Amino acid sequence: MKNLALMYVRRFVLQILFQLSPQRAHFYVRYAVLERNIQIDGTLFVLHNAGLFSCFMTTMWGVIEATYHGHAVQQIDSRLGIQAFTNSSNQSIWNILFNAPPKSAKSKLDPLPININPFYHHGTYVDIVQRHLGIDWMRWYFTTYMSPSERVLERSRFFADKYSIRHGDSAAVLIRGTDKHTEVTPVGLSAYFAIVDHLFAAGDIQKIIIQTDQRQYRDAFIAQYGVRCEYLSELPVTKGSIVMHDTVGIISDRESFAVDLYAMCLALSESKVVITCTSNVGFFLSAHALIRGSRVIQLP
């Protein structure tokens, strides 16, 4: 109880810091929370409250740092974080999306060096997954801490079957819209079109599946490629610039939205080619695709 109360105090401090200065808040997350660590008696507490895949990224770094310091993370508790994707307070969406880690979750691999830049979602995914983190480490991490629940797997199978993703003739195109321009410089759609045109001309693919939160991007791809372009109609889009989980009136069931987002990631990773923007979603989609042996093309 004392430990949980401490987590609430840290979360309150973090909220105040974000109001005063986002830079100070990020400094606090990096050095006071992640490193000291949300890790208590084998439990990694998730304090981050942002986009779903942003929370996935900071949690992964919490595990990396805990492992580096010789602490085995036996379970992950997100009751204090990822609040935009729960239907009720004090709910751990992590336990809905993922199976519990095995009783002995300590990695048999050497711990990763602590000085690896934690903001890797702005880096080159092929290098990060295959060289910096390593395919073996990423596979271990996904198997241990992000093993999808049956509910997620069922939804992933639904997407893969409905959109025939496993046929080996499709390319998944991921473009984050809304607020992503505040983090990375946007790439014009013409750059994506050029890559897709080349893949079609070479006979590498027969169709594309566009996944975006921006309605205008989706409409542009449909206008460009017609029946050769599909999209997951189950996932919402917006014409605005407010991030999806903060847009009023779009998401009625936040828990199901979280399930669909990760199920989408798993399903699209089975595509023959993944063309992705630079974003947290792009990192996890690319990591799964590279583990499967798919080709990944990243912009910028």
pLDDT in tens, 42-101: 788 888 888 999 999 989 988 888 787 777 888 898 887 898 999 887 789 999 999 999
Cα–Cα distance measured from residue 282 to residue 298, given in angstroms and rounded to the nearest whole number:
8
Q: What is the pLDDT of residue 1?
A: 53
Q: What is the pLDDT of residue 192?
A: 97
pLDDT in tens, the chain (300 residues): 555 566 566 656 655 655 555 455 444 544 444 444 455 567 888 888 889 999 999 899 888 887 877 778 888 988 878 989 998 877 899 999 999 998 776 666 777 766 665 545 578 899 889 888 889 999 999 999 999 999 999 999 999 999 999 888 999 999 987 655 456 667 899 999 999 999 999 999 999 999 998 999 999 999 999 999 999 999 999 887 677 676 667 788 999 999 999 999 999 999 999 999 988 999 999 999 999 999 999 997
Structural domains in the chain, sorted by start: 2-111 (no CATH), 151-298 (3.40.50.11350)
Q: What are phi and psi of 295, to 5 degrees?
A: -85, 135
**Burial zone of 104 (CB within 10 Å; 0-12 exposed, 13-18 middle, 19+ buried):** exposed
Site of tokens 């797997």:
153
Two tokens, residue 271: 């595509």
Dihedral angle sign, alpha carbons of residues 128, 133, 138, 141? negative
Cα–Cα distance measured from residue 62 to residue 55, given in angstroms and rounded to the nearest whole number:
10
Site of tokens 């939160």:
213
Two tokens, residue 108: 């048999």
Cα–Cα distance measured from residue 258 to residue 253, given in angstroms and rounded to the nearest whole number:
9
Taking phi first (over 0 means left), then psi (-120 to 50 degrees means alpha), and beta for anything else, what does residue 117 get?
beta
52 within 8 A of 59, measured Cβ to Cβ: no
285 within 8 A of 269, measured Cβ to Cβ: yes
Model pLDDT for residues 220-246, shown as the tens digit of each residue: 999 999 999 999 999 999 887 677 676
